[in-house]
Amino acid sequence: MNRRHFLRSAAIAGAGLTIGASTAARSAFAVPRRNIKLGFDNFSIRAFGWKAPQLLDYAQSVGVDTILLSDLDVYESHDPVYLREIRTHAQQLGIEIHAGTGSICPTSSAFDSKYGSAEEHLALAIRIAQAVGSPVVRCYLGTSDDRKSEGGIEARIRDTVQVLKTARSLALDSGIKIAVENHAGDMQGWELARLIEAAGPEYVGATLDSGNATWTLEDPMVNLEALAPFAVTTGIRDSMVWETPEGVRVQWTAMGEGLMDLNTYMDRLGTLAPGVPVQLEIISGFSRPFNYLEEGFWAGYEHVRASEFVRFLAMARRGRPMEPFKAPEGVDPKIAEQEYQKAQLEQSIRYCKEVLGLGMKA
């Protein structure tokens, strides 16, 4: 067995043990089925660099219902004929596409002018979503850096709302809901909810991201309660949080390996946002520090609510340190990263099906 095959076997075996243990614990009764579609964000397996046709074939092979194609580069062309072919291919495979793109805030450090102005970028994303048959177009404001930009997150929210308003008619005429994500530590759930209300919930909704909540010092359950009424799609992963002398560290994990009460979370999601799929966005293998005990940290976080921060700290007190992913010695780092991402995603898909009762397919 060469090192590549060993790595793959070890990852899959580890995933199988995790699922096997969880399944055995429930062997006395059937796992309740939830009427929630299951899918994944292509960012989960970004190391492969696959385009839309390959991603759709892979989605069909792992038995999911949906896929979030979360960037515009995933398409080999933006020509309407090509995009309709992608739509047809997805329909033949029984996969529902949710389309997406990146930052639409022109004053965010995350904004890329590759597709023109923010208004042009959003309009293009809506047209692509319509062509591939997506009911939504996921996008976002920026990152945690925007909380410390001039004017803070409040100014960036205002700028994003203005861009969204320019797309109101196009979105309504296209039947596309613009799904703004709480992304990479930019906004807490209540801040995104306020953005949606300011822009107009008749055409703007939320991409509810449980992992990104922890990057804003927010318990994912608090985030869920704030955003579920607006949710039209999701980006879901588990998280581990633990205390350090400087504050806390956060590491995203495969489903079932973190601190989230996933059964309760899915129950609430199904109740508050019926019909919204669970799109797995598994980004494991590294941790990020949030040194809130150090001087200067709170610039940009002045409006964090104390009662909600206490709930986040309660998570940290239950957590434990996790080791980062490291490619085994002698294994090509790119191959190791690909196999790790794939194993983490497939482990999470099995957990969602076999333990949480998600998905509409066997």
Q: What local confidence, expressed as pLDDT, does residue 108 receive?
A: 98
Question: How far apart, in Å, are the Cα atoms of 296 and each of 91, 249, 256, 290, 302?
Answer: 52, 17, 34, 12, 11
Contact assessment for residue 156 and residue 118, using Cβ atoms and an 8 Å cutoff: no
288 φψ region: left (φ > 0), alpha (ψ -120 to 50), beta (else): beta
Can you point out the beta strands (E) in 24-182? 38-41, 66-69, 96-103, 136-140, 177-181
Contact assessment for residue 322 and residue 287, using Cβ atoms and an 8 Å cutoff: yes
Q: Are strands 38-41 and 238-244 parallel, antiparallel or unpaired?
A: unpaired
Give the CA angle between residues 50, 52, 53 to the nearest 5°: 95
In tens digits, the chain (362 residues) has pLDDT values of 344 443 444 444 444 444 444 444 443 457 788 999 999 999 999 999 999 999 999 999 999 999 999 999 999 999 999 999 999 999 999 999 999 999 999 999 999 999 999 999 999 999 999 999 999 999 999 999 999 999 999 999 999 999 999 999 999 999 999 999 999 999 999 999 999 999 999 999 999 999 999 999 999 999 999 999 999 999 999 999 999 999 999 999 999 999 999 999 999 999 999 999 999 999 999 999 999 999 999 999 999 999 999 999 999 999 999 999 999 999 999 999 999 999 999 999 999 999 999 999 96
Dihedral sign of CA atoms 177, 178, 182, 187 in order: negative
What is the C-alpha separation between 166 and 120, in angstroms, rounded? 10
Q: What local confidence, expressed as pLDDT, does residue 29 receive?
A: 56
Element (H, E) at 164: helix 152-166
Put simply, whether the predicted model's pTM sits higher than 0.75 gets the answer yes
Question: How far apart, in Å, are the Cα atoms of 322 and each of 249, 260, 281, 312, 319?
Answer: 10, 15, 19, 18, 9
Dihedral sign of CA atoms 351, 356, 358, 362 in order: positive
What domains appear along the chain, each with residue ranges and CATH number?
Answer: 33-354 (3.20.20.150)
